[in-house]
């Protein structure tokens, strides 16, 4: 079995496990799958999927400022999105931005 066939095989395994309602341990026992191998392939395919996902850029324009001193603030989401903005950003504009995320 070549690498693409292995990847497809394991994707099929994961697609069968999720809707089965069984825990991973029970699913693996019932299907004679080594649990360590299951997790290793899941991690491998998850890492590859994350690497190939394009980053999304959301442009926005800020027309108001309420402070005179500025510094940069970086907001990072658990999924890897990052937004840098000036600390002089008005709270209302920041709230609107956060709603979009």
> For the whole model, what pTM was predicted?
0.47
**Predicted confidence band of residue 13 (pLDDT cuts 50, 70, 90):** very high
| % of residues, the chain, pLDDT over 90 | 36
pLDDT score of 23: 92
Residues 63-83 pLDDT 10s: 655 555 667 777 777 777 777
For residue 24, what are its two tokens? Answer: 């991973």
Give burial (CB, 10 Å; 0-12/13-18/19+) of 12: exposed
Q: Using one digit for the tens of pLDDT, what is the confidence trace for 34-71?
A: 999 999 999 988 887 665 556 667 776 666 555 556 67
Average pLDDT, whole number, for the chain?
Answer: 80
Largest CA distance in the chain: 65
DSSP label of 75: E
Higher pLDDT, 86 or 31: 31
């Amino acid at each position: 079995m070549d690498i693409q066939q292995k990847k497809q095989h394991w994707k099929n395994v994961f697609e069968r496990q999720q809707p089965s309602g069984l825990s991973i341990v029970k699913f693996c026992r019932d299907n004679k799958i080594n649990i360590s191998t299951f997790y290793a392939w899941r991690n491998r395919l998850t890492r590859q999927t994350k690497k190939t996902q394009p980053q999304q850029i959301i442009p926005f324009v800020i027309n108001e400022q309420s402070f005179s001193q500025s510094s940069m603030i970086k907001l990072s989401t658990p999924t890897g999105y990052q937004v840098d903005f000036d600390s002089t950003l008005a709270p209302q504009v920041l709230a609107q931005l956060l709603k979009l995320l």
